[in-house]
Amino acid sequence: MHETAYAKLNLALHVRGREPDGYHRIETAFAFAEDGDGLDVAEGEGISLRVGGPFAGDLAGADNIVLAAAHALRDRCGAAAGAALRLDKRLPVASGIGGGSADAAAALRLLQRWWRLDLPEDALVDIARSLGADVPACLFSRSALGEGRGDRLEFVDHGVGGMPLLLVNPGAKLSTRSVFERWDGHDGGPLGDPWAGRNDLEAPARGLVPEIGDVLEALASPGTARLVRMSGSGATCFALFQDSEDRDSASRQIAARHPHWWQLATRLR
């Protein structure tokens, strides 16, 4: 069986406050790309994971969240079955597009089918929430508004389904914790229309990776994008276009000027 771990976007991300436990209260508009990492499962003794793909090396020696998700699901259900998992890591690690969270969510969806479980939706969401703030949104991979830590969801139609999308990363990893720690504490107000919103983590992220500014400028410079913004805590930035020809033209221009930057041309689900 196969499952796609869909890349996550934050069309807007407003940080509203810092909680006593150190977490931040946010309001965000989630959207998801049609593409992402790939996860496969086959018969196996116990639970195992092999990682391949262009970004596999960035996960070497790490405690992979896919295994955490698999064990959490099996423990919840008391299942004795095994699973030989293989992750095709196509999305850059620590890049603001939910790669790890999407992988964990894909593992939950995939193993729910593979083990023929019948967990109710709220039980799956509880497991997802225990794995990370973005995992519940990634579990559904649908347009939504997120509040709290981003794990209280309201499913809405942002009107972006099918829009051509270009993701660009300058080749930099960013720690979500480090970016949030640099937030200036200013509450710029609630999230309304995502198109008119902002990403309050852009400034602290640019302080750590100044190349983010170059990426945003490169995405905006053709003048054909409807929206250009950084996603999550960065460093990946995105542009939404009216048609795929404009997206592909922007992609070619960026590739010619910055051949070492990572790109993904896709669409929103």
* Tokens of residue 143, six digits: 């347009």
**What's the chain's Rg over C-alpha atoms?**
18
Q: Helix, strand, or coil here: 16?
A: strand
The one-letter amino acid code at 51 reads V
H-helix segments, the chain? 65-77, 99-114, 121-131, 135-140, 176-181, 202-208, 211-220, 244-257
Chain position carrying tokens 């086959």:
42
DSSP 195: G
Q: Residue 198: what are its φ and ψ, rounded to 5°?
A: -155, 175
- CA nearest to 35, candidates 53, 60, 58: 53
Q: Is 173 a catalytic residue?
A: no
Told to judge if 126 belongs to the known catalytic residues of this protein, a careful annotator would answer: no
- Measure the CA–CA gap between 268 and 136, rounded to whole angstroms: 18
C-alpha dihedral sign at 111, 113, 118, 123: positive
Q: Which of these is catalytic: 8, 35, 88, 89? A: 8
Exposure string of 254-269, with b = 16+ CB inside 10 Å and e = fewer, is: beeebeebbebbbbbb
d(CA 65, CA 68): 5
Q: Which of 35, 37, 103, 134 is catalytic?
A: 134
CA-to-CA distance for 134 and 99, rounded, in angstroms?
Answer: 10
The catalytic site residues sit at 8, 134
